[in-house]
Amino acid sequence: MGRYERKTEVKEDCGIEKTLQLISGKWKPAILSELMRSSTIRLKDVQKGLPEASKRSLTTQLGEMVTDDLLRKEVYEVYPKKTVYSLTEKGKALKEVFEEMNDYAKNFL
């Protein structure tokens, strides 16, 4: 399952489109929201919060956000292996965007 590819190019001068493309994904907003509430998260924690999401889908979206520099992935070589995700500075900068979206939803939806 790969990343959705748009058929038309994102307008380079449209920050809204570029931001939406970065955070778009079935589970990305929920994952990012959870990370904004806690400093780190493990895949099993995400799975508990989103039981309807498949492990494969969550792993794919976490990987995309690591590639896009929204998340940092730390792997601890212990048994069993422990992988922890946290927000990068770029990811933390989305907090205000999410707060504004939350305010919009409270006021208009």
Over residues 4-30, the pLDDT tens digits come to 565 666 667 788 888 988 899 999 999
Q: Looking at residue 65, what is its pLDDT?
A: 97
94 part of a folded domain: yes
Kindly report the pTM of this predicted structure: 0.85
Q: Looking at residue 1, what is its pLDDT?
A: 46
**Angstrom distance (rounded) from CA 87 to CA 74:** 11
Domain count, the chain: 1
Q: Looking at residue 14, what is its pLDDT?
A: 81
Question: Residue 38: which CATH number?
Answer: 1.10.10.10
1 part of a folded domain: no
9 part of a folded domain: no
Q: Bin 69: left if φ > 0, else alpha if -120 < ψ < 50, else beta.
A: left
Cβ neighbours for 31, distance < 8 A, ≥ 6 positions apart: 41, 46, 50, 58, 61, 62, 65
47 part of a folded domain: yes
Q: Which domain holds residue 94?
A: 15-108
Q: Looking at residue 108, what is its pLDDT?
A: 96
Percentage of the chain lying above the pLDDT 70 cut: 90
Residue type, 21: Q
Reference 58, options 29, 38, 79; nearest CA is: 29
* Segments of the chain scoring below 70 in pLDDT: 1-11
Cβ neighbours for 68, distance < 8 A, ≥ 6 positions apart: 22, 90
